[in-house]
Amino acid sequence: MSLAAMARTRDLKLGHFVVEFATPGIGHILKNAGCDFVLFDCEHSGFGFETVKAAMRYFEAARLPAIVRVPSKDYDQIARAADMGAEGVMLPMVNDAGEARKILGCLKYTPVGRRGVALGIAHDAYSGGPVLDKLAQANARTTLFCQIETAEGVENADAIAAVDGVDCLWVGHFDLSAALGIPGEFQHEKFLDAIERVVSACRRHGKAAGRLVPDVATGIEYWQKGFDFICYSGDVWALGAAVKAGVEGIRAGAAPRSRESPSAPAAGKGKKKKG
């Protein structure tokens, strides 16, 4: 299922955050793990567009839709991610409806937006076809994920969700908690009130709600709160936790070895019997 189709339902969609391991097998690994989508980070990872272009082919090979989070609201960041083949583009710190409309202008082709036209390249699988059909198909395919991670974004969540073309409001939980003056306090009343405002905006306008979660319990909690795009952990933390658990488990369960060398003969053995 495409991201655009996923965003039109309130069914549970589960994904994983890639911030480090843009390896050829990553798409198949995540698909076989049961993921519905992948969130590929360019804000904090250091990945450049050459890496994005290659990674999009890995995800396409696994039939795993990809959201690319770009580091800024600049035209070249948004349009290039879409050109490289990202089905979804995520923007950090979207503060109001005006910003959302400007982003859409960079993401969508005419007549919806002003994205520079380039056809027969990565985003349309290097294929040909009638120009107007291609533009319409690209506009229908690209999905916009607006991150709500400032107090202003929360205040304007309803207006952002009302913008035609915004597909999902995605809570950036750490930045939002910091913006509210309560960094890392995710059970604080101010944070929970902000979450409820975002969810209410999404429900009112029929838009998806998403966030990254660190563990299973938080994923279930946020599904119950009304979120439907749930991104479970990230490659760095999942690998680190799995390896740590295995190493610590073996270390804890390993009994001390005998001090006697296993190759040393037992006492009295190996001697010839006397005549």
Q: Is the pTM of this model over 0.85?
A: yes
Mean pLDDT score, 133-140 = 96
Q: How confident is the model at residue 265 (pLDDT cuts 50, 70, 90)?
A: low
pLDDT in tens, 3-40: 999 999 999 999 999 999 999 999 999 999 999 999 99
At 257 the pLDDT is: 80
As a residue count, the chain comes to 275
Beta 143-148 vs 88-91: how paired, if at all?
parallel
Q: Which residues pair with 212 in a beta bridge?
A: 231
pLDDT of residue 101 exceeding 80, the answer is: yes
What residues make up the domain containing 218?
3-240
Confirm whether 13 is domain-assigned: yes
Confirm whether 271 is domain-assigned: no
Confirm whether 144 is domain-assigned: yes
Confirm whether 175 is domain-assigned: yes
Catalytic residue annotation: 44
Tokens at residue 269, please?
């053995």
Confirm whether 56 is domain-assigned: yes
**Residue 149 belongs to a domain with what CATH number?**
3.20.20.60
Tell me how many domains the chain contains: 1
Residue-wise DSSP of 123-142: GGTT----HHHHHHHHHHH-
